Chain A
Amino acid sequence: MVSAAVVEDRRILGEAGLNIRQGHMEHLLPVVDQVLSGLGMALQDIDVFAVSVGPGSFTSLRVGIATAKAFAHTLRKPLIGVPTLDALAEGLHGTPGLICPVLTARAQEVYASFYVSVPGAPVWAPEGMKRLSGYLAVDPRRIADRLQNDLRARVTFTGEGALAWWDVLREALGDRAALAEPAQLWPRAALVATVGQNALEQRQGDTRLPAIRALYVKPPAIRCK
């Protein structure tokens, strides 16, 4: 996914994106440029930058984070790192029960996390979404195992990983499992900007550039020589 958006006080002014698995380096700046030039804006007009920090493909994350860091550095503006799973969950604000964004990791593994949308909270407010777990790298069949103990919960899955593993999740959880509508299944830059704005307002997270890191979830694979 390559996506860029300009958001002003939670109003999406413009957004563009390509749902691609490769070619992030090639497409990111042209997509950014398309949004800005379409709005008659320049990068200098941006006050705060937000970037998704994963978990996800290390290569794609590095392209996005390095780009966002250089933007923020050049313009001396703050940069917020936003976990991609948080951004996906934000898209399901107001959904009752549990919310579980799922992103494809490797062949038999997904990244996932659990959230609950706080009843009565205003849309996209900082206090509107509560994360209930860490950012997990798990076998998708284990997600169902985790939830079967919690018999009451209805779970709405989102993210392309949920789509890919829907049959497995559905079979394990039956009617308790729901899949988000297609438009919500991909992490979008407007949601990243919104979660970033929430974090900024709550003064959460370190906006110093070296502190913005990818959420690798796993330590680097090292083959000793």
Chain B
Amino acid sequence: MADLIIHIAAGVALLGVILASARLVVGPTAPDRTVALDTLTVISISLIVMIALFQGRVIYLDVALVYGILSFLGVIAIARYLEGGL
């Protein structure tokens, strides 16, 4: 029962991945695509944690943490570049 609900949750998050990456491909300007990248990052952190739960390995949570830190730095760098301050 609980396993099934978590699998459904992963499916719903995957639908979100598809919608956000459609905006990344279509989005008319560079800030639009940066917003889509930020959304994709947060959704995929949740997906990584769900994968860790499916496979039952704690070490995957560290990957989620490293991913969060580095992609945050990437988004900040892109924002500073667009602002003209990098």
Q: Do A and B bind each other?
A: no
